[in-house]
C-alpha cells in the first residue's frame, strides 16, 4: 500500500475533535449493518438524511429517532456534507452514482462520499477519479464485525483516501466504531478487507468441513469444540458454526452465502495478474458458489455445515 503506512487503531474516544459544527450526514443502505450505524450517528447528534427502501422497519425506526427520509440518491447528495453508502457491491454503488437523480449529477463540490461497501478496488479507484473531476471526494471505508456491534457502536472501520478527507471521516466514525484504521491511498482499505475476508470466509469453509468430519466419524461435537476452542486451531468461524449447531445461535455472523461468493470473487479479480500461488481461494469460492447455485444463497455462514452435510447432499 504505497505512500502511506498503516496507522495504529484508535479507541472510540481517543481522537481530538477536528470540527466544531456537526456535519449533515446522508445514509444509503440502512439495513442489517446500516441501521446500527445510522442510529449511532443520530445519537452522536449528526443531522441525518437517509434513503428509504422496501424494508420499512429500519427506515421507520430511524425516522422516529429524528432522521429525515429522502427518495433518491441525488436528493440526498444535494443536501449533505458527507454521504455514507452501505450497500452490497460495486455494481450497486455505480447505480447510485448514475443518471439525473444520481450522486455524481447532484452532489455539491466538497461532498465526501464514504463507500462502506465491500467491492472491487479497481472500480473504486476509477470512481474516485470521476468524482474528483466534479470536486467530490471519495474514501473507501469497509467495515468488519457484525450487526450486533453496529447497534452497539463497536464496529471496526478501515479508511483510505486523501489524508485530510480521511481525517474528517475518522472523526464521524468514532460515533459508531470501536477501532478505526487509516490504511493509505484510495482503494487500499478495500484490498485489505478482501484479504481479511479471504481468511474469515476460508476459515468458515474449513470449519464446516471439520464439523461434518466429526459427525461422520462419531466424534462428539461438544468435545471437539472444547478442544479446538482452547488451542491454536480455534477461529471465530469455527465458534460461530458450532454455536449454531449446539445452541441454535445465528447471531455470530449474519453474512450470506451469496455475499461470501461476491467477496471472494472480488478477491480473485484483485489478485489476477499477480505472481500469487492462489491455492485455496478458488476452493473457498467454489464452496460458496455451489451453495448459492443449490438455492442457499441467502442462508448464513453459520448454516454451512448443514448445507454440505452428507444427509443434505443426498436429499434426505
Which phi and psi (to 5°) does residue 143 adopt? -115, 155
**CA 227 vs CA 173, 217, 233, 236: distances in Å:** 38, 16, 9, 14
Place of cell 451453495: 291
Confidence band (pLDDT; 50, 70, 90) for 12? very low
Task: Give the whole-angstrom CA distance, residue 4 versus residue 129.
Answer: 19
3-class DSSP state for residue 181? strand
| Least confident residue range of 35-39, 153-157, 199-203, 247-251 | 247-251
Task: Give the whole-angstrom CA distance, residue 283 versus residue 250.
Answer: 24
Task: Give the whole-angstrom CA distance, residue 201 versus residue 166.
Answer: 28
Looking at every residue in the chain, the average pLDDT score rounds to 92
3-class DSSP state for residue 49? strand
Q: pLDDT tens digits, residue range 225-263?
A: 999 999 999 999 999 999 999 998 877 778 999 999 999
Q: pLDDT tens digits, residue range 135-186?
A: 999 999 999 999 999 999 999 999 999 999 999 999 999 999 999 999 999 9
For residues 26-37, average pLDDT: 97
Contacts of 248 (CB under 8 A, 6+ apart): none
Percent above pLDDT 70 for the chain: 91
Task: Give the whole-angstrom CA distance, residue 63 versus residue 52.
Answer: 10
pTM, full prediction? 0.89
Which phi and psi (to 5°) does residue 271 adopt? -95, 0
Q: Dihedral of the CA atoms 165, 130, 97, 59 (nearest 10)?
A: -10
**What domains can you pick out in the chain, each with its CATH number?**
25-184 (3.40.50.720), 192-313 (1.10.1040.10)
CA atoms within 13 A on the CB side of 126: 10
Beta strands in 134-196 (DSSP E): 137-140, 143-144, 155-160, 177-184
CA angle 280, 284, 290 (to 5 degrees): 140
Q: Which residues pair with 143 in a beta bridge?
A: 157
Amino acid at each position: 500500500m504505497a505512500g502511506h503506512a498503516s496507522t495504529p487503531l484508535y479507541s472510540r474516544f481517543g481522537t481530538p475533535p477536528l470540527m466544531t459544527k456537526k456535519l449533515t450526514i446522508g445514509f444509503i443502505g440502512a439495513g442489517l449493518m446500516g441501521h446500527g450505524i445510522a442510529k449511532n450517528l443520530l445519537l452522536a447528534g449528526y443531522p441525518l438524511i437517509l434513503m428509504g427502501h422496501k424494508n420499512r422497519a429500519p427506515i421507520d425506526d430511524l425516522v422516529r429517532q429524528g432522521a429525515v427520509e429522502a427518495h433518491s440518491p441525488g436528493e440526498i447528495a444535494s443536501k449533505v456534507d458527507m454521504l455514507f453508502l452501505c450497500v452490497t457491491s460495486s455494481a450497486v454503488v455505480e447505480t447510485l452514482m448514475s443518471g439525473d437523480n444520481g450522486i455524481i449529477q447532484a452532489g455539491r463540490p466538497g461532498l465526501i462520499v464514504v463507500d462502506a461497501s465491500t467491492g472491487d478496488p479497481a472500480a473504486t479507484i476509477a470512481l474516485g477519479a470521476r468524482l474528483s473531476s466534479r470536486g467530490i471526494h471519495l474514501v473507501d471505508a469497509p467495515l468488519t464485525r457484525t450487526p450486533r456491534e453496529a447497534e452497539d457502536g463497536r464496529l471496526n472501520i478501515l479508511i483510505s483516501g486523501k489524508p485530510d478527507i480521511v481525517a474528517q471521516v475518522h472523526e464521524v466514525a468514532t460515533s459508531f466504531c470501536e477501532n478505526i484504521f487509516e490504511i493509505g491511498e484510495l482503494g487500499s482499505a478495500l484490498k485489505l478487507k478482501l484479504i481479511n475476508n479471504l481468511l474469515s470466509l476460508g476459515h468458515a469453509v474449513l470449519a464446516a468441513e471439520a464439523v461434518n468430519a466429526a459427525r461422520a466419524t462419531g466424534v462428539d461435537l461438544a468435545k471437539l469444540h472444547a478442544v479446538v476452542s482452547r488451542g491454536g486451531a480455534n477461529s471465530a468461524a469455527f465458534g460461530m458454526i458450532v454455536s449454531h449447531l449446539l445452541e441454535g445461535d445465528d447471531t455470530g455472523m449474519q453474512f450470506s452465502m451469496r455475499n461470501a461468493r461476491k467477496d471472494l470473487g472480488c478477491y480473485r479479480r484483485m489478485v489476477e495478474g499477480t505472481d500469487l500461488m492462489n491455492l485455496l481461494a478458488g476452493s473457498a469460492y467454489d464452496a460458496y458458489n455451489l451453495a448459492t447455485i443449490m438455492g442457499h444463497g441467502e442462508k448464513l455462514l453459520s448454516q454451512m455445515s448443514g448445507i454440505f452435510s452428507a444427509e443434505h447432499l443426498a436429499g434426505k
